[in-house]
Copies of this chain bind each other. A is one copy, B any other.
Amino acid sequence: MTAPDPETDPEAGTPPADAAPARRHAAGADPAKRAQILEGAARAFLEKGFDAASMEDVRRAAGVSKGTIYVYFADKVELFEALVADKRDRMFADVISLLEEDLPLRAKLTRFGEALSRVLCSEDVIRAQRIVIGAVARMPGMGERFYRVGPSRMHDRLAALFEAEVAAGRLAVPDARMAAVQFIELVSAGVWRRRLFCGPHAGVEEAEIVRTVASAVELLLRAWGRGEARQGLDD
A residues neighboring B (CB under 8 Å): 47-52, 127, 130-138, 140, 143-144, 146-147, 151-152, 155, 175, 178, 181-182, 184-186, 189-190, 193-194, 196-199, 211-212, 215-216, 218-219, 222-224
B residues near A189, Cβ cutoff 8 Å = 178, 181-182, 184-185
Per the bound structure, the CA–CA distance linking A182 and B182 in Å amounts to 9
Q: Are A219 and B223 also in contact (CB < 8 A) when A151-B193, A196-B133 are?
A: yes
Q: Kindly report how many copies of this chain are found in the complex they form together.
A: 4
Q: Are A197 and B51 also in contact (CB < 8 A) when A131-B134, A134-B131, A182-B216 are?
A: no
B residues near A143, Cβ cutoff 8 Å = 196-199
In the assembled complex, the CB of A120 is this many whole angstroms from the nearest CB of chain B, namely 10
B residues near A49, Cβ cutoff 8 Å = 134-135, 137-138
In the assembled complex, the CB of A58 is this many whole angstroms from the nearest CB of chain B, namely 16
Shortest Cβ distance from A126 into B: residue? B136
Per the bound structure, the CA–CA distance linking A229 and B177 in Å amounts to 25
Contact B135 A197 (CB under 8 A): no
B residues near A194, Cβ cutoff 8 Å = 147, 151-152
Per the bound structure, the CA–CA distance linking A151 and B193 in Å amounts to 9
In the assembled complex, the CB of A45 is this many whole angstroms from the nearest CB of chain B, namely 10
In the assembled complex, the CB of A199 is this many whole angstroms from the nearest CB of chain B, namely 5
B residues near A215, Cβ cutoff 8 Å = 175, 178, 182
B residues near A216, Cβ cutoff 8 Å = 182
Contact A136 B196 (CB under 8 A): yes
Q: Among the listed B175, B197, B218, which residue makes an inter-chain contact with A136, where contact means beta carbons less than 8 Å apart?
A: B197
